[in-house]
Structure 1
Amino acid sequence: METIISGYEKIDAKLFCFIIHSILFEEENLNEYSQVKDSIHNFRSEERVVLDKGYFSLFMALKKLVANETNPESDEALRFIKQLVALSNQTLSKIETAEINSMDQYDEPNILNPFTGEERTFLKNAFAYMSKLQE
């Protein structure tokens, strides 16, 4: 946790709790998921730390964009979405397809979702705008 949040003076409490919850969930379920070949749960190296820090940085950036009332159709929002997509693609390229299809627990709403309704709306609108630009 210390490595992930290093370099930030202020940290969103919901995001902090979400990360703690994720770490605890992973530790409790490590044996079950580590049996899957190429599981992201097996990444215990620098590579995993880089991914975790990348997501944390993007999540903090999202909160800042929304707090600053950034237009989801702005160049700044588009750069953010492209970074998020790139990191997601980087992560997914490291996970076997079978594991992605078996992640049923992610269909359940997470009570510790780190994003507000406003942040989720921003993401939805920014993704929609990016999709429209790619047509």
Structure 2
Amino acid sequence: MNPVFSMTAAEQQHFFMTRVPHNEALGMRVTHCSPGKLSVDMPYSAELVGNPATGEMHEGTLTALLDATSGSVVLTQLDDLRRTATLDLRLDFLRRAKAGADIHCDAWCLTITDHVATVRAIAHDGDSADPVAVATGSFAVFPPSVKPAAGAAV
């Protein structure tokens, strides 16, 4: 059984977000975790605004959210915890996020092999039928025997 599902919600939050300090710094919060699906929220912050005149979140922060959620959802499909890395991530920005709105991201693992996973994700600001951005990506799945260097994110 995947060790993620024996964790409490607080332990899942710590596991998924502290592995990459940038995700934690952006305030990302795990809101749902099940086999093949992960949801993460990023609260609105004035520090993350791209254009002060409009107040919507910068596209770079949306990219970070989509990438982090997509790479992390792969871990919900594995029997043992491994490292993953983004191989390819296609983002389509469909509209600007609403000023002052938190962003919610849902990611699904579409396929997974011993070496590569394919993921789909959407980011929205309140209505999943009206996404701000969508992503499709492929992620390397490292063998369990590959040990990261001391201090490296897993």
Structure 2-normalised TM-score? 0.30
Q: Which has the higher contact order (CA 8 A, sep 6+)?
A: 1
Greater helix proportion: 1
Structure 1-normalised TM-score? 0.34
